[in-house]
């Protein structure tokens, strides 16, 4: 196992980002990165000049500024630091396939990989050099167990290589804090006279096991010691790396219009997807300016595709309006989301599949008008007629199959229903004469009622039931009316009448 510890990760990262944007403070000026504490900003990371002046992490910024008026204060980016560690863990798979990010470093299982780099010492030297090129100060150690490697990287000699037979002797002089225990546990062990790993390992285990029987596994000193010594298993659970579909083109000279390079990028990406029998559902094009700025645009497809010409049509319109600055020198096209798409011939006569053309049209309309402007029908399980049909973006899924309606429904529904003025109502029936949109209608026949109860799990309390009637008037038109509520239901005043729809 190889443990890589970055003692100054936050400061190294801040220095690298700041140097690309503006001038760094003088080396003699103390710099601190701060986070929000319970009583104001506190120091999160300290530069070398600050450490030389005795500034420590956790101190309040106002107290430090009172002693050091020339203190340079910057805001820390803790989330950005953790994201960088995750990226470094994936990047470190150049040495071995099993790597995992910790909160302050990287852990690698390099078994069977050292000989590829000329031996263990050469591998550690290569790691140290490549991290230094990135502006990161790294402390490395190699040991048979992950616990021993972590302890040596943080408390041992830089670049130490510990063999299987030497674990006990190499770890013995390290302090018990190397087990990464909580401060109160470290203080307890030190009060017992157990200040080093060697002294802890020599104590009879029966007494210590009774003392730490109720301590959690992650902070139990005996269990952590057993893992470091190799007496119990401590495997590395490295996350799987997802396949990345990316095409990249670097321009020899900065260009203002990147569109001519899109075709080559799209063909490269389509070839990669074809090799993996995958189709893209979401694409991202990113263009990088020579001044360090970059811009990206995302597009989606209605169905999995690896049609290079379709990729170009989707992406080309997204590059309009991007400020080129002094020009672009790098552009990438990446498939963020892919789905299996087997190799097949669409039609024997060489023609195109009509379904693919429809999907391509939906993709282009969505890319041009926006996802919320291109929709199709979706069906919702609901008692209320106006809730049964909904509109969803075409890229949000596939159109739902139509539902079977037990009773006849009008071709046109009004949402919301329109209230009608009842001039005369049949007892326990529909209105014999009613006025809708300033026109009076006389009923000649009706059918109903069909009672629809409120949806108690969705409607607010007090919602009234509906009694629906199919009504035919004198001129032959047919309406779908409903009475909201019944007399004496204690949910409001007199029932109200509405027209919900008209039949063809």
Q: In this predicted model, what pLDDT tens digit does every residue of 458-479 receive, in sequence order?
A: 878 788 888 899 999 988 889 9
pLDDT of residue 347: 63
Question: Does 497 or 317 have the greater pLDDT score?
Answer: 497
Q: Which residue has the tokens 């003692």?
A: 7
pLDDT of residue 351: 63
pLDDT of residue 350: 64
In the structure encoding, which two tokens stand for residue 17, read together? 């980002």
CB 224 within 8 A of CB 151: no
pLDDT of residue 4: 93
Phi/psi of residue 479, nearest 5 degrees: -120, 160
Residues 6+ apart with CB under 8 A from 70: 29, 30
Confidence of residue 143 (pLDDT cuts 50, 70, 90): very high
Helices (H), 5-102: 9-21, 48-52, 61-67, 78-91
What is the C-alpha separation between 105 and 9, in angstroms, rounded?
9
Confidence of residue 6 (pLDDT cuts 50, 70, 90): very high
> What are the angstrom distances between the C-alpha of 149 and each of 144, 161, 231, 281?
7, 9, 15, 42
Q: Residue range 326-355: average pLDDT?
A: 75
Quick check: bond before 449 cis, omega within 30?
yes
Is pLDDT at 40 greater than 70 in this prediction? Answer: yes
Confidence of residue 304 (pLDDT cuts 50, 70, 90): confident
Question: Does 141 or 354 have the greater pLDDT score?
Answer: 141
**Least confident stretch, 77-91, 306-320, 381-395:** 381-395
Is pLDDT at 330 greater than 90 in this prediction? Answer: no
Q: Which residue has the tokens 């443990």?
A: 3
In the structure encoding, which two tokens stand for residue 40, read together? 């104001």
Q: Residue range 34-60: average pLDDT?
A: 89
SS3 content of the chain, % helix, strand, coil (to 5): 35, 30, 35
Residues 6+ apart with CB under 8 A from 446: 426, 429, 430, 469, 470, 471, 472
Kindly provide the residue ranges of all beta strands, DSSP E only, lying in 256-410, ordered along the sequence. Answer: 278-289, 294-305, 328-340, 375-379, 389-393
Q: Which residue has the tokens 């008026």?
A: 69
Q: Which residue has the tokens 């219009």?
A: 257
The strand pairing partners of 499, in sequence order, are 418, 481
What is the C-alpha separation between 33 and 17, in angstroms, rounded?
13
How much is the pTM?
A: 0.52
Find, among 164, 165, 148, the residue nearest to 156 by Cα.
148
CB 464 within 8 A of CB 444: no
Q: How many CB atoms lie within 10 A of CB 245?
A: 22
Confidence of residue 5 (pLDDT cuts 50, 70, 90): very high
Is pLDDT at 356 greater than 70 in this prediction? Answer: no
Q: In this predicted model, what pLDDT tens digit does every residue of 213-257 receive, in sequence order?
A: 777 877 888 888 888 888 888 877 776 666 678 888 888 888 888
Share of the chain above pLDDT 90, in %: 12
């Amino acid at each position: 196992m190889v443990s890589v510890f970055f003692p100054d990760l936050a400061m190294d990262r801040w220095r690298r980002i700041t140097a690309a944007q503006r001038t760094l403070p003088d080396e003699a000026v103390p710099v601190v990165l701060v986070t929000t504490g319970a009583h104001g900003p506190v120091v999160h990371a300290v530069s070398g000049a600050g450490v030389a002046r005795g500034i420590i992490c956790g101190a309040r910024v106002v107290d430090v500024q009172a002693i050091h008026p020339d203190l340079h204060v910057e805001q820390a980016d803790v989330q950005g630091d953790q994201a960088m560690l995750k990226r470094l863990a994936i990047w470190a798979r150049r040495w071995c396939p099993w790597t995992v990010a910790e909160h302050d470093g990287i852990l690698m299982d390099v078994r069977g990989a050292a000989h590829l780099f000329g031996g263990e010492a050469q591998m550690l030297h290569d790691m140290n050099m490549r991290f230094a090129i990135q502006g990161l100060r790294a402390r490395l150690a190699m040991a048979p167990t992950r616990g021993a490697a972590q302890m040596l990287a943080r408390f041992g000699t830089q670049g130490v290589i510990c063999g299987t037979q030497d674990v006990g002797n190499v770890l013995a002089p390290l302090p018990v804090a190397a087990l990464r225990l909580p401060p109160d546990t470290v203080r307890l062990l030190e009060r017992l006279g157990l200040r080093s790993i060697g002294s802890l390992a020599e104590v009879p285990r029966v007494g210590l096991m009774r003392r730490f029987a109720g301590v959690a596994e992650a902070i139990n000193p005996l269990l952590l010691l057993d893992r470091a010594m190799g007496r119990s298993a401590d495997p590395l659970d490295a996350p799987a790396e997802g396949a990345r579909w990316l095409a990249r083109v670097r321009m020899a000279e900065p260009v203002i219009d990147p569109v001519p390079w899109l075709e080559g990028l799209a063909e490269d990406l389509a070839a990669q997807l074809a090799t993996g029998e995958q189709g893209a559902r979401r694409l991202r094009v990113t263009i990088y300016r020579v001044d360090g700025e970059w811009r990206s645009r995302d597009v989606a497809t209605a169905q999995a595709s690896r049609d290079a010409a379709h990729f170009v049509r989707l992406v080309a319109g997204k590059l309009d309006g991007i400020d080129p600055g002094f020009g672009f020198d790098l552009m990438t096209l990446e498939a963020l989301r892919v789905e299996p798409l087997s190799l097949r011939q669409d039609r024997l006569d060489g023609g195109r599949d009509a379904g693919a053309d429809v999907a391509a049209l939906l993709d282009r309309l969505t890319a041009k008008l926006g996802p919320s402007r291109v929709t199709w029908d979706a069906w919702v399980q609901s008692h209320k007629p106006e809730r049964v049909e909904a509109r969803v973006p075409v890229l949000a899924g596939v159109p739902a199959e139509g539902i079977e309606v037990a009773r006849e429904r009008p071709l046109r529904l009004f949402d919301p229903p329109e209230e009608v003025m009842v001039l005369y109502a049949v007892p326990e029936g529909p209105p014999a004469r009613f006025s809708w949109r300033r026109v009076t209608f006389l009923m000649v026949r009706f059918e109903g009622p069909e009672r629809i109860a409120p949806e108690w799990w969705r409607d607010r309390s007090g919602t009234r039931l509906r009694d629906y009637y199919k009504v035919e008037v004198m001129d032959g038109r047919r309406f779908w009316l409903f009475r909201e509520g019944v007399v004496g239901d204690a949910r409001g005043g007199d029932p109200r009448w509405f027209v919900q729809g008209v039949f063809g």
